[in-house]
Structure 1
Amino acid sequence: MLNNRRKKMLFNLLIIIPAFYVSVCVLLYFTQERLIFFPQRLDKDFKFAFQRFEEVAIKTKDGIMLNGVLFKADSSKGLIFYLHGNAGALNSWGEAATTYTNLHYDVFMLDYRGYGKSEGEINGQSNFFSDVQTVYDEMKKHYPENKITILGYSIGTGAATFLASTNDPKRLILQAPYYSLTDMMKHKFSVLPTFILKYKFATNEYITNCKCPVVIFHGDKDEIIYYGSSLKLKPLLKPSDKLITLHNFGHNGMSDNEEYQTELKKILE
Structure 2
Amino acid sequence: MIKPLLWITGVIAAGYLFILLFMYLFQAQMVFHPTKQMGTDPSAAGLPFEDVTFETTNGLQLHGWFVTAGDSAPTILYCHGNAGNISGRLETIRLLHELGLNVFIFDYRGYGRSEGTPSETGTYRDASAAWGYLTETRGIEKEKIIAMGRSLGGSVAAWLAARKDPAAAIVESSFTSAAQLAADFYPWLPVRWLLKYDYNTIAYLQNIKAPVFMAHSRDDEIVPFHHGKTLFEAAGKPKMFVELRGSHASGFLETETKYRKQLRSFLVKHTPYKMY
Tell me the TM-score normalized by structure 1: 0.90
Q: Check 1:188–1:60 CA distance in 2 against 1; reply closer, same or farther (3 A cut).
A: same
Shift of 1:8: 1.5
Number of the residue aligned with 1:170: 167
Q: 1:91 aligns with which of 87, 109, 133?
A: 87
Aligned partners of 1:217 and 1:127: how far apart in 2?
Answer: 25
The partner residue of 1:21 within 1, 13, 16 is: 16
> How far did 1:107 drift?
0.2
1:13-59 deviation line (CA, Å, top 9, x unaligned): 3333222212211111221222222221127xx87352310111122
- Corresponding residue for residue 107 of structure 1: 103
Q: Letter of the aligned partner of 2:90 in structure 1?
A: G
1:69-96 superposed Cα distances (whole Å, 9 cap, x missing partner): 1101135421000111122212221332
Query: What residue is the counterpart of 2:76 in the other structure?
Result: 80
- CA RMSD in angstroms comes to 1.8
For residues 93-136 of structure 1, the C-alpha deviation after alignment (integer angstroms, 9 at most, x for no partner) is 133212112222110101112211111221x3222212211221
| Residue identity opposite 2:122 in structure 1 | N
Distance in structure 1 (CA, Å) of the matches to 2:98 and 2:235 = 29
Matching residue of 1:134: 129
1:189 aligns with 2:186: yes
What is the CA distance between 1:175 and its match in structure 2? 1.3
CA distance in 2, matches of 1:81, 1:16: 50
Aligned counterpart, 1:157: 154
Question: For 2:72 and 2:180, how far apart are their aligned partners in 1?
Answer: 38
Tell me how far apart the structure 2 counterparts of residues 56 and 180 of structure 1 sit (CA, whole Å): 31
Unmatched tracts of structure 2, length 5 or more:
269-276
Deviation at 1:254, TM superposition (A): 4.2
Alignment of 1:7-18 (within 5 A): 7-18=2-13
User: Which is higher, the Rg of structure 1 or of structure 2?
Assistant: 1
Structure 1 segments unaligned to the other structure (5+ residues): 1-5
| Distance in 2 of aligned mates of 1:9 and 1:254 | 51
Cα shift at 1:225: 0.9
Distance 1:125 1:116 in 2: 17
SS of equivalent to 2:59: coil
In structure 1, how many angstroms separate the alpha carbons of the residues matched to 2:35 and 2:92? 17
Find the counterpart in structure 2 of residue 3 from structure 1. Answer: none
Do structure 1's residue 148 and structure 2's residue 145 form an aligned pair?
A: yes
Q: Among the aligned pairs, what percent are the same residue?
A: 28
- The match for 2:50 is 54
Cα 1:148/1:254, change in 2 over 3 Å? farther
In the TM superposition, what is the alpha-carbon distance from 1:144 to its structure 2 partner? 0.4
Shift of 1:145: 0.3
How many residue pairs align between the two structures?
260
1 CA distance for matches of 2:252 and 2:113?
23
TM-score (norm 2): 0.88
| Aligned mates of 2:170, 2:42 — CA distance in 1 | 27
Q: How far is 1:240 from its partner?
A: 2.2
Q: 1:228 to 1:187 in 2, by over 3 A?
A: same
Please identify runs of 4+ aligned residues in structure 1 that moved more than 6 A.
none
Partner of 2:249: 252
